[in-house]
C-alpha cells in the first residue's frame, strides 16, 4: 500500500478521492477528474500471433520509461478477462520487468468489476424472462429477443441453449456471450458519470415488441437496479507497475467483438494529472485502433497526440509463413498495411520493435532498414528484459514526435448510412475489395433503419489474426471480400456491431487451455497463471 500511496501522491491525486481496495488497489472517485492536461499516446500493433504481440508489455514499459526520463506518465489498461487468462494467452498484465502488480490478483477477480458487469447483465436477462413469463406490456416477440446471457469464461457449449423448459417459463432459444462482449461492459467503458450510465442502460434494446417497436431496458424498469450493481465498478482502479509508477486498469471490452478500449473515465482521470497517458487498444490497427478513432476519439474528445505500432520479428515471420529472410520480407507486408492504416488517420506512428532475447541482430537491422526507407520513426524496445531502461529510446521518440494540436482524419462520416460505413472500413482499413451481406444481415439492417439508428458508428466484430475476416489469411491478404452475417445492436453504448465471418461472441477454449498449467502451492501462491 505504501508504494501505491506514494504513486498517487506523486501523481497529485488527493487522498480524499482514494478508496483502498484491500492492500493492492485504490478505487478512485470520479470527482478526481478535472481539466485535460496530458497528451494521449495510443499503443496498437500489427495482427498478433495467437500468443499475442507484446502490446501490453510495451505500453507498461513505455509509461515506465517516460517516467524515467522525467515525464509524469500513467498507463491505462483494460481489465483482464478470465476467458483468455485460462484460455490461450494466460495473464494479461504485461511480462518480465514491464508488468502491473499484483499480477495474479489483477488477472483473477481484481476489484470485481467484471463480475459486477456479469451480474448487471444477467439481472436484465432475468427481468426480461420474468416480463415474458407474465406477458407484461409491451409484449416482446420471443422469436425476436436479441439479448443473451453472459459469463466471464470461454464456454462454446453455451453459445446456443434453450430456456424455459419443464414449465419454468416460456420455452425459447437463447445463448451466452462472454462478459467482455456484453453491451453492459461497453456502457460501463463509455459512461461519463452515474447519470450517463443509467441513461445508457435505459436505451439498451433487448429485442422487438409485437407492434414492431424497440423493446428496451426502460420497458423492464431495470436500468436503476443494473446501475446500482455498477456504482463501484464505474470508479477506475489504480495499481502500480513493477517500478512503482501509477497505472489505471478499468473496464474490459474485447476489440475483436467489442470496441476494445479501457474506460473513458480512467483515461480522463489519467489525463487530468499526467503529462503523458499511454493506453493500448486491443489487437491490431484494423480493430482496436480503428474503433478507438471511430467511436472514442470522435465522440468523447479523446484525440491521441501520437500512435505507437508494436511489431516483433516473431509476428512478422508468422505472417510470412516461415522463418528466415524470405518470411521477414513477406511478413513485412502486414506491417506496411498497418502503417498505412494509421497514416490515413493523420498520424506517422512510432514503431516499437519489441525485441526478444533470441532475435538475431541481422534481422533487426533488416527491419530497421525497411522502416527507414519508409521514413517511419522507430525504436527497439527491450522493456520485458530491462524494464524502463529498455524503453528509453522509445520514450524519447514518442516525446519527439507527439503532436501539439492533432487533427485526425476519419474513415467515414457520421451521416454515411451503415452499409457505407462498413464498406469504407472494410475497403480502406482491411483492404477488402467488397463487402457482402447475408439475408439474415439484411433483415436485421432493415430493422435497424426502422429504429432510426443509422447515424451510429460501426464496431465491426471480426478475427484479430488477419486483416480479412478469415483467420487463416495471414500477411497482406488481397482479392477478398468481407461477409457480414448478422448485426448486434448496441444502442445503449452508442454503436452497431456488424458480425463478420465466423467470429463468435462466446469464444471457446483451445485444445490445451492455459488453465491446465495453473496450480496453488501450500502457501496459497498461484503458479502457472502468467504462462
Fold of 113-228: Domain 2, N(10)-formyltetrahydrofolate synthetase (3.30.1510)
For all residues of the chain together, what is the average pLDDT? 96
What is the C-alpha separation between 16 and 300, in angstroms, rounded? Answer: 27
Hunting for cell 506518465 — which residue is that? 73
Hunting for cell 474503433 — which residue is that? 291
The number of angstroms, rounded, from the C-alpha of 18 to the middle of its chain's C-alpha atoms is 26
Rg of the chain, C-alpha, whole Å: 22
What is the C-alpha separation between 287 and 270, in angstroms, rounded? Answer: 23
Q: What integer pLDDT is reported at residue 88 of this predicted model?
A: 81
**What is the number of residues in the chain?**
531
* Closest to 102 in 3D by CA, of 6, 2, 242, 250: 242
Fold of 2-111+233-401: Rossmann fold (3.40.50)
CB environment 284-297: b (16+ within 10 A), e (fewer) = bbbbbbbbbbbbbb
**What are the pLDDT digits (tens) for 427-439?**
999 999 999 999 9
**What are the pLDDT digits (tens) for 226-249?**
999 999 999 999 999 999 999 999
**What are the pLDDT digits (tens) for 92-118?**
899 999 999 999 999 999 999 999 999
Q: What integer pLDDT is reported at residue 168 of this predicted model?
A: 80
Hunting for cell 496498437 — which residue is that? 44
- DSSP code, position 73: E
Q: What integer pLDDT is reported at residue 91 of this predicted model?
A: 79
**What are the pLDDT digits (tens) for 323-353?**
888 999 999 999 999 999 999 999 999 999 9
Residues with Cβ < 8 Å from 288, sequence gap 6 or more? 44, 255, 259, 260, 261, 280, 281, 282
Give yes or no for residue 90 having a pLDDT over 80.
no
Q: Which CATH number fits domain 418-500: 3.10.410.10, 3.30.379.10, 3.40.640.10, 3.30.2350.10?
A: 3.10.410.10
Q: What integer pLDDT is reported at residue 166 of this predicted model?
A: 84
CB environment 247-258: b (16+ within 10 A), e (fewer) = bbbbbbbbbbbb
Q: What integer pLDDT is reported at residue 417 of this predicted model?
A: 95
**Cell matching residue 323:** 522463418
Check if the beta carbon of residue 479 is closer than 8 Å to that of residue 466: no
Q: What integer pLDDT is reported at residue 1 of this predicted model?
A: 57
* Closest to 269 in 3D by CA, of 301, 241, 236: 236
In the chain, where the domains are located: 2-111+233-401, 113-228, 418-500
Give yes or no for residue 2 having a pLDDT over 70.
no
**Cell matching residue 493:** 453504448
Check if the beta carbon of residue 409 is closer than 8 Å to that of residue 346: yes
Check if the beta carbon of residue 496 is closer than 8 Å to that of residue 489: yes
**What are the pLDDT digits (tens) for 381-415?**
999 999 999 999 999 999 999 999 999 999 999 99
Q: Looking at the DSSP assignment, which residues form a beta bridge with residue 214? A: 208
Give yes or no for residue 419 having a pLDDT over 60.
yes
Give yes or no for residue 531 having a pLDDT over 70.
no
Amino acid at each position: 500500500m505504501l508504494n501505491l500511496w506514494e504513486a498517487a501522491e506523486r501523481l497529485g491525486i488527493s487522498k480524499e478521492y482514494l478508496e483502498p481496495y484491500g492492500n493492492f488497489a485504490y478505487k478512485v472517485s470520479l470527482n478526481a477528474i478535472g481539466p485535460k492536461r496530458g497528451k494521449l499516446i495510443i499503443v496498437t500493433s500489427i495482427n498478433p500471433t495467437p500468443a499475442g504481440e507484446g502490446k501490453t508489455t510495451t505500453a507498461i514499459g513505455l509509461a515506465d520509461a517516460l517516467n524515467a526520463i522525467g515525464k509524469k506518465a500513467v498507463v491505462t489498461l483494460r481489465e483482464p478477462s478470465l476467458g483468455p487468462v485460462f484460455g490461450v494467452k494466460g495473464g494479461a498484465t504485461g511480462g518480465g520487468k514491464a508488468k502491473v502488480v499484483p499480477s495474479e490478483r489483477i488477472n483473477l477477480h481484481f476489484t470485481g468489476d467484471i463480475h459486477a458487469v456479469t451480474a448487471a447483465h444477467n439481472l436484465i436477462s432475468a427481468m426480461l424472462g420474468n416480463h415474458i413469463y407474465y406477458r407484461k406490456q409491451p409484449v416482446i416477440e420471443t422469436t425476436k429477443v436479441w439479448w443473451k446471457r453472459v459469463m466471464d469464461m470461454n464456454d462454446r457449449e453455451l453459445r446456443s441453449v434453450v430456456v424455459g423448459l419443464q414449465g419454468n417459463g416460456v420455452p425459447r432459444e437463447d445463448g451466452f456471450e462472454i462478459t467482455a462482449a456484453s453491451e453492459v461492459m461497453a456502457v460501463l467503458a463509455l459512461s461519463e458519470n452515474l447519470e450517463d450510465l443509467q441513461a445508457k442502460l435505459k436505451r439498451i434494446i433487448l429485442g422487438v415488441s409485437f407492434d414492431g417497436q424497440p423493446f428496451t431496458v426502460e420497458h423492464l424498469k431495470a436500468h436503476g437496479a443494473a446501475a446500482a450493481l455498477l456504482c463501484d465498478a464505474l470508479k477506475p482502479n489504480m495499481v502500480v507497475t513493477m517500478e512503482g509508477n501509477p497505472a489505471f486498469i478499468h473496464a474490459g471490452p474485447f476489440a475483436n467483438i467489442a470496441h476494445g478500449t479501457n474506460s473513458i473515465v480512467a483515461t480522463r482521470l489519467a489525463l487530468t494529472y499526467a503529462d503523458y497517458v499511454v493506453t493500448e487498444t486491443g489487437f491490431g490497427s484494423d480493430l482496436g485502433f480503428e474503433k478507438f478513432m471511430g467511436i472514442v476519439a470522435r465522440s468523447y474528445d479523446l484525440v491521441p497526440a501520437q500512435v505507437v505500432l508494436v511489431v516483433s520479428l516473431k509476428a512478422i515471420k508468422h505472417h510470412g509463413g516461415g522463418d528466415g529472410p524470405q518470411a521477414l520480407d513477406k511478413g513485412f507486408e502486414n506491417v506496411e498495411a498497418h502503417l498505412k492504416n494509421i497514416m490515413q488517420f493523420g498520424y506517422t506512428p512510432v514503431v516499437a520493435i519489441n525485441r526478444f532475447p533470441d532475435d538475431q541482430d541481422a534481422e533487426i537491422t533488416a527491419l530497421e532498414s525497411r522502416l527507414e526507407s519508409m521514413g517511419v520513426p522507430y525504436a527497439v524496445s527491450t522493456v520485458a528484459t530491462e524494464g524502463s531502461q529498455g524503453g528509453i529510446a522509445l520514450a524519447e521518440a514518442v516525446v519527439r514526435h507527439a503532436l501539439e494540436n492533432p487533427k485526425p482524419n476519419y474513415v467515414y462520416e457520421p451521416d454515411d448510412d451503415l452499409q457505407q460505413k462498413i464498406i469504407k472500413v472494410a475497403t480502406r482499413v482491411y483492404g477488402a475489395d467488397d463487402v457482402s451481406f447475408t439475408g439474415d444481415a439484411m433483415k436485421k439492417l432493415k430493422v435497424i433503419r426502422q429504429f432510426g439508428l443509422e447515424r451510429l458508428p460501426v464496431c465491426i466484430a471480426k478475427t484479430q489474426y488477419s486483416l480479412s475476416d478469415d483467420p487463416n489469411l495471414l500477411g497482406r491478404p488481397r482479392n477478398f471480400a468481407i461477409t457480414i452475417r448478422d448485426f448486434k445492436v448496441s444502442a445503449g453504448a452508442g454503436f452497431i456491431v456488424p458480425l463478420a465471418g465466423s467470429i463468435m461472441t462466446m469464444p471457446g477454449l483451445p485444445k490445451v487451455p492455459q488453465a491446465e498449467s495453473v496450480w496453488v502451492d501450500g502457501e496459497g501462491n498461484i503458479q502457472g497463471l502468467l504462462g
